[in-house]
């Protein structure tokens, strides 16, 4: 029986990395099924993602991980290695609009988003999402005001920690995280921004787009950083609009872009396809 694993790594580029990694895997009964790499010539940094199968029952993921740690140390790698069947634990945060939540739940149910949803946090009460059957997923109503923000974020952080969340998805959560919380969630919090960044930052981007008379609108999924609207971009997409579209039409068309952009970003993140590269990302698409 074969068990699939994902290895991701990045380090300073130098000759022989691929040979060393591939040989190490081969010698430990790991068969490379797919491998992608990228040399960032600007920064001299090397990125790699390997999907491999452990072929014999004898082969132990733990032993492989242990021996690979030595290779990683030699090259100074940032790296992760995990069995594909180990589902990441995900908390979804949502506000009044539930179109992204709807899409995420649908794709999760269909098996397209291979994760375990360990919590839904909303700053609106449960009845706002009456159309949804959440089943076993814990729902936390954590309202927020300017005054209660510190307490609310502390509560959010407790949920994230208590549930052992690997990833937090801001599914149109509409609240700016504090620098503190953003830092705590670095590289494991994905936001959907309802604009084709850096086009229309700030509030009401669709209305800004309408005023400017652009012919395409878009959305951007990015990792959350303390610098609002400026985190590393994972995915973007656009849709054509025209003079007949009102701001409401833009909002409606925007919903479709937002949900597909966010779902793609989540799927790629879960599959170990997104590697942080400073203020940018490397995305190994299939």
> Radius of gyration of the chain from Cα atoms?
21
**x-marked contacts with a second copy along 52-91 as a string, rule CB under 8 A:** ---x------------------------------------
* Smallest separation (angstroms) from a second copy to the CB of 93: 20
Q: Does the protein bind a second copy through residue 40 (CB under 8 A)?
A: yes
Among 37, 128, 175, 178, binds a second copy (CB under 8 A): 37
**Which residue number, 79 or 196, has a Cβ lying nearer to a second copy?**
196
Q: Active-site residue numbers?
A: 229
Query: Which of these segments, 28-36, 61-69, 79-87, 137-145, binds a second copy (CB under 8 A)?
Result: 28-36
Among 116, 187, 229, 237, binds a second copy (CB under 8 A): 237
Give the one residue of 1, 16, 145, 147 binding a second copy; rule: CB under 8 A: 16
Site pattern 192..211 for a second copy (x: CB under 8 A): ----xxxxx-----------
Q: What residues from 118 to 137 belong to the interface with a second copy (CB under 8 A)?
A: 130-133
- 186 scored as a contact of a second copy (CB under 8 A): no
Tell me which residues in 154-183 interact with a second copy (CB under 8 A). Answer: none
**Token pair for residue 280?**
């940018």
| Cβ closest to a second copy, residue 32 vs residue 144 | 32
Note the maximum CA span of the chain.
65
3-state secondary structure the chain: CCEEEEEEEEEECCCCHHHHHHHHHHHCCEEEEEEEEEEECCCCEEEEEEEEEECCCCCCHHHHHHHHHHHHHHHCCEEEEEECCCCEEEEEEECCCCHHHHHHHHHHHCCCCCEEEEEEEECCCHHHHCCCCCCCCCEEECCCCCCCHHHHHHHHHHHHHHCCCCEEEECCCCCCCCHHHHHHCCCCEEEEECCCCCCCCCCCHHHHHHHHCCCEEEEEEEECCCCCCCCCEEEEEEEECCCCCCHHHHHHHHHHHHHHHHHHHHHHHHCCCEEEECCEEEECCC
276 binding a second copy? (CB under 8 A): no
Shortest CB 228 distance to a second copy, Å = 15
Q: Which residues of this protein are in contact with a second copy, per CB under 8 A?
A: 15-16, 18-19, 22-23, 25-27, 31-41, 55, 99, 102, 106, 109-110, 112, 130-133, 196-200, 212-216, 218, 232-238, 242-244, 246, 252, 255-256, 260, 277, 279-283, 285-286
């Amino acid at each position: 029986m074969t068990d699939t694993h994902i290895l991701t790594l990045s380090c300073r580029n130098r000759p022989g990395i691929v040979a060393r990694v591939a040989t190490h895997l081969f010698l430990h009964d790991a068969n490379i099924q797919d491998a992608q790499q990228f040399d960032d010539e600007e920064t001299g940094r090397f990125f790699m993602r390997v999907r491999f199968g452990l072929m014999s029952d004898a082969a132990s993921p733990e032993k492989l991980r242990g021996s690979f740690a030595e290779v990683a140390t030699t090259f100074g790698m940032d790296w992760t290695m995990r069995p594909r069947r180990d589902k990441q634990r995900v908390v979804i945060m949502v506000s009044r609009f539930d179109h992204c939540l709807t899409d995420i739940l649908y794709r999760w149910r269909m098996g397209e988003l291979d994760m375990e949803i360990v919590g839904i946090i909303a700053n609106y009460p449960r009845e706002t999402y009456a159309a949804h059957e959440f089943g076993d997923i814990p729902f936390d109503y954590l309202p927020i005001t300017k005054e209660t923000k510190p307490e609310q974020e502390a509560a959010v952080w407790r949920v994230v920690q208590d549930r052992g969340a690997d990833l937090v998805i801001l599914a149109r959560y509409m609240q700016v995280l504090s620098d503190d919380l953003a830092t705590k969630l670095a590289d494991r919090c994905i936001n959907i921004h309802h604009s084709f960044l850096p086009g229309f930052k700030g509030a009401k981007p669709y209305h800004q787009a309408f005023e400017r008379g652009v012919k395409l609108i878009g959305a951007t999924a990015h990792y959350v950083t303390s610098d609002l609207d400026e985190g590393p971009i994972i995915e973007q997409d656009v849709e054509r609009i025209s003079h007949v579209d009102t701001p409401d039409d833009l909002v409606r068309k925007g919903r479709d872009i937002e949900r597909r952009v966010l779902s793609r970003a989540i799927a790629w993140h879960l599959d170990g396809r997104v590697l942080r590269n400073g203020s940018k990302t490397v995305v190994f698409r299939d």
